[in-house]
């Protein structure tokens, strides 16, 4: 298996590019102002008339709305370019500089989907859709929104949960599989834990506390640079948006394995109690696989028995001050990418 390429432009999982879109009356509408609901945005690229696909999407507007999504058409040009464009269930926006298509590296008509937090969730070129032309494309877009981005239903009061962030699509399935291979192929070793002993940080080993095998991504390696680049695009901006905390550096990334046959687990602990870790601000736990193991939940005991087990490619970000544990894996193998951010 070859290492998947790192897309040089905006890609799935990235926050929407900052571009200035305008309505027919000249008012600005950035992508980030679409937040709170899924945004299905057809970007008209090239000379083809976008009216047929816009009409096909608009014809399903009620179904998109029921799925928690709003529809948009973006055309290159000034506000006059969208004057008189179809408006029933679909908002037409002008892109004077063509910046959205440029940033997303679109070379043909494409519908892009942004999730509730303005992260790029999918890219669907018009001519790649199954079915019959614009109607088939609209059906493919609707199916994707229904299957992958279900709406959040209102409920009375929040559930009891730890103050954590769950960030989807940080790594693609290909990247997850590649990192698992790196762990297994390039070596790993039993993992210890830091503890303060007589005023000093000491690395200890105790199977009653922790059973895990780690592959440390070498400092200065191309892989470290690529993971850092991905974090700078998909993790750091989310932390800044939610906490106003500037992240200046990271510790070495670790690809780790919890094996059921070994009793893989990590008892409740905090990540910043030893002096060597007191400047740690946030921990990142990014699952590389899911569905092929049992147990292995991330639990924050101070906030109850809520277990977090995000999908492959998703990350849980939390303060290093929070008490947390990795519950035992009871079947199969759990792989995780770990990071500490300062």
The vertex-316 CA angle with 315 and 317, nearest 5°, equals: 110
147-152 own/partner pairs: CB under 8 Å, 24+ apart: 148/121, 148/122, 149/38, 149/67, 149/68, 149/69, 149/113, 149/115, 149/116, 149/121, 150/67, 150/68, 151/37, 151/38, 151/67, 151/68, 151/69, 152/68, 152/116
pLDDT score recorded for residue 157: 62
Q: What is the pLDDT of residue 86?
A: 62
Where do the H-state alpha helices sit in 60-160?
Answer: 61-66, 99-103, 133-148
The model's pTM: 0.83
How many Å apart are CA 284 and CA 238, to the nearest integer? 12
CATH 2.60.120.620 residue spans of the chain:
165-341
Q: Write the pLDDT tens digit of every residue in 278-331.
A: 999 999 999 999 999 999 999 998 888 889 999 999 999 999 999 999 999 999
Q: Give CA–CA dist 24/80, Å, rounded.
A: 6
Q: How far is CA 224 from CA 10, 193, 238, in A?
A: 20, 22, 20
User: What Rg, from alpha-carbon coordinates, does the chain have?
Assistant: 23
CATH 3.40.30.10 residue spans of the chain: 31-148
The sign of the dihedral angle between the CA atoms of 310, 313, 317, 323 is positive
Distance (Å, rounded) from C-alpha 131 to C-alpha 294? 38
| Strand stretches in the chain, DSSP E | 38-43, 69-76, 91-95, 110-114, 120-125, 165-167, 189-190, 193-197, 200-204, 210-211, 213-216, 254-259, 265-269, 282-287, 293-295, 298-299, 307-308, 315-319, 324-326, 329-341
What phi and psi values does residue 292 have, to the nearest 5 degrees? -115, 25
Three-class secondary structure of residue 67 per DSSP: coil
Per-residue pLDDT tens for 251-260? 999 999 999 9
In whole angstroms, what is the distance from residue 207 CA to residue 267 CA? 10
The architecture of the domain spanning 165-341 is Sandwich (2.60)
For the chain, the distance separating the N- and C-terminal CA atoms, rounded to the nearest angstrom, is: 33
Residue in this structure with the two tokens 């890219």, named with its chain if needed? 123
- Kindly tell me the burial class for residue 135, based on how many C-beta atoms sit within 10 Å of its own C-beta (0-12, 13-18, 19 or more): middle
Cβ proximity of 42 and 109 under 8 Å:
yes
Matching CATH number, 31-148, of 2.30.42.10, 3.40.30.10, 1.10.10.60, 3.90.470.10: 3.40.30.10
Cα–Cα dist 290/306, whole Å: 17
235 φψ region: left (φ > 0), alpha (ψ -120 to 50), beta (else): alpha
pLDDT at 126: 93
Helix (H) or strand (E) holding 34: none
Q: Which residues of the chain have pLDDT under 70?
A: 85-87, 129-131, 152-160
Per-residue pLDDT, 152: 67
- What is the bridge-based pairing of β-strands 282-287 and 315-319? antiparallel
* Selection from 285, 185, 196 nearest residue 235 by Cα: 285
Which DSSP category does 87 fall into?
Answer: -
Res 250: pLDDT: 97
Residue 162 Cα distances to 165, 211, 308, 326, angstroms: 9, 24, 10, 15
């Amino acid at each position: 298996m070859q290492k998947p390429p790192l897309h040089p432009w905006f890609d799935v999982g990235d926050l929407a590019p900052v571009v200035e879109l305008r309505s027919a009356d000249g008012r600005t509408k950035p992508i980030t102002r679409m937040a709170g609901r899924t945004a299905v945005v057809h970007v008209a690229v090239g000379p083809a008339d976008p009216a047929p696909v816009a009409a096909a999407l608009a014809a399903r507007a009620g179904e998109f709305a029921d799925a928690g999504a709003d529809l948009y058409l973006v055309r290159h040009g000034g506000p006059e370019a969208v004057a008189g464009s179809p408006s029933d269930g679909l908002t037409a926006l002008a892109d004077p500089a063509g910046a959205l298509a440029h940033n997303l590296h679109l070379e043909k008509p494409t519908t892009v989907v942004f999730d509730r937090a303005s992260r790029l969730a999918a890219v669907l070129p018009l001519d790649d859709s199954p079915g019959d032309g614009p109607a088939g494309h609209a059906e493919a877009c609707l199916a994707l929104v229904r299957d992958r981005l279900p709406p959040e239903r209102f409920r009375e009061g929040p559930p009891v949960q730890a103050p954590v962030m769950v960030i989807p699509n940080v790594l693609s399935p290909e990247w997850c599989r590649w990192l698992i291979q790196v762990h297994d192929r390039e070596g790993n070793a039993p993992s210890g834990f830091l503890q303060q002993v007589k005023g000093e940080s000491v690395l200890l080993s105790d199977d009653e506390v922790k059973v895990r095998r780690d592959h440390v991504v070498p400092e200065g390696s191309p892989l470290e640079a690529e993971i850092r680049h991905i974090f700078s695009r998909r993790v750091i901006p989310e932390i800044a948006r939610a906490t106003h905390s500037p992240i200046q550096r990271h510790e070495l990334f670790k690809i780790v394995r919890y094996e059921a046959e070994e009793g893989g687990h990590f008892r409740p602990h905090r990540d910043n109690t030893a002096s060597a870790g007191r400047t740690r601000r946030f921990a990142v736990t990014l699952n590389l696989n899911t569905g092929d193991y049992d147990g292995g939940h991330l639990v924050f005991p101070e906030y109850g028995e809520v277990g977090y087990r995000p999908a492959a490619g998703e990350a849980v970000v939390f303060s290093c001050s929070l008490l947390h544990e990795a519950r035992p894996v009871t079947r199969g193998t759990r792989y995780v990418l770990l990071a500490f951010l300062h």
